Amino acid sequence: MLNLEKVKSELKKYNYIYNNNILCGHTKSKVKWVLPAGVVNVMAFEQSTSYLFGFSERGINLFPIQGDWNIADNLYISWDEINNFKMKNGLLENEMAIETKSMKIEMKINKVIANNSWIKENISYLKEKNYFYTL
């Protein structure tokens, strides 16, 4: 179950300091196939992966999640490597696009998760620090 204590504990394993700079999200879901079955259509989606995103003055850390909110790895991208960065505001989720010379990443950022008010607080903090609009 996701909670702030779990997030802080997992981040310590990577020597990453929590400073209201973490958000939760996932890969964008894509339709894999559609099977028309009369009145009802059956759709299969590609499996999405959950992430924690760490924003700092130096760059963005992407922490893929496995199991019960355990961090599986860490990908760091410095702002210097990022050619294009966009954060599009949505109703329930924001869309984040990161483009470097060698890759393009599109993610969804959760704006609300039940029993985790720290997410809204972190979004406000990051907007105030202008981490979303650095480029």
Q: How many domains does the chain have?
A: 1
Provide the pLDDT for residue 39.
Answer: 54
Single pTM value for the model:
0.82
| 79: CATH | 2.30.29.30
Tens of pLDDT, residue by residue over 107-126, are 999 998 888 999 999 999 99
Phi, psi angle pair for 39, to nearest 5°: -75, -30
Q: Is residue 104 part of a domain?
A: yes
- Side-chain half-sphere exposure of 90, counting CA atoms within 13 A: 14
State both tokens at 31.
Answer: 């339709």
Q: Is residue 84 part of a domain?
A: yes
Tens of pLDDT, residue by residue over 33-85, are 445 555 555 544 456 789 999 999 899 999 999 988 899 999 999 999 999 99
Cα 10 from Cα 25, distance rounded (Å) = 16
Q: Is residue 56 part of a domain?
A: yes
- Rounded (to 5) percent helix, strand, coil in the chain: 20, 45, 35
- Residue 117 belongs to what domain range? 4-128
Instruction: Calculate the CA dihedral of residues 45, 47, 53, 58 and round it to 10 degrees.
Output: -90
Q: Is residue 133 part of a domain?
A: no
